[in-house]
């Protein structure tokens, strides 16, 4: 019974996150990053769900692919945030356009600090995505017998 609750929760996340991603006032480039990250995240939850509740899918490694896809979606999301702040030229969207006391406000409002923060977000996204991309590349290499 609880597995169907989790499946309905995954469907609810899928619907609400896609509605938020498509309804946002982002540019097309940033919206693509958001939609890809959201859909990969819900795909990862579905893969983990299948790998957890069904023996046939557990043996096929769906749980491993699900966890790998979680990291890939997080990495793509962080790359998208960094890319969006580079396109906008500021990081005010991180603090909601309000003055917040402390280091976050300073990083979001200073031009040079914002570019460093954007670069850090992109590098962190690449770092998070690397294990997933390495797994996908390794499986492709072993299944085709040749490099991409």
Model confidence at 79, in pLDDT bands (50, 70, 90)? very high
* Alpha carbon distance 23, 16 (integer Å): 10
Average pLDDT over residues 132-148: 71
Q: What's the average model confidence in pLDDT over 98-105?
A: 64
Per-residue pLDDT at 1: 77
Mean pLDDT, range 49-55, rounded to an integer: 90
C-alpha–C-alpha distance, residues 60 and 80, integer Å: 31
pTM for this entry: 0.80
Question: For all residues of the chain together, what is the average pLDDT?
Answer: 83
- CA distances to 51, 52, 82, 84 from 75, rounded to whole Å, are 22, 24, 11, 14
In this prediction, residue 57 has a pLDDT band, given cuts at 50, 70 and 90, of confident
DSSP 96: T
Contact 55, 108 (CB under 8 A): no
Q: Are 76 and 36 in contact (CB under 8 A)?
A: yes
Across the range 39-49, mean pLDDT stands at 93
Q: Would you state the pLDDT for residue 113?
A: 76
Integer Cα distance of 20 and 54 in angstroms: 31
User: What is the reported pLDDT for 46?
Assistant: 93
Q: Tell me 92's DSSP state.
A: G
């Amino acid at each position: 019974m609880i597995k169907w609750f989790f499946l309905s929760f995954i469907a609810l996340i899928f619907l609400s996150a896609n509605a938020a991603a498509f309804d946002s006032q982002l540019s097309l480039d940033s919206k693509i990053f958001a939609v890809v990250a959201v859909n990969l995240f819900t795909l990862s939850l579905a893969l983990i769900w299948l790998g957890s509740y069904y023996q046939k899918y557990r043996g096929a490694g769906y749980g491993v692919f699900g966890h790998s896809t979680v990291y890939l979606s997080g990495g793509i999301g962080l790359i998208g945030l960094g890319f969006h702040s580079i396109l906008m030229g500021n990081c005010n969207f991180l603090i909601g356009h309000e003055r917040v006391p402390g280091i976050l406000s300073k990083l979001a409002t200073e031009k040079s600090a914002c570019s460093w923060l954007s670069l850090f977000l992109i590098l962190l996204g690449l770092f998070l995505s690397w294990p997933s991309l390495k797994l996908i590349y390794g499986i492709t290499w072993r299944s085709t017998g040749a490099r991409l």
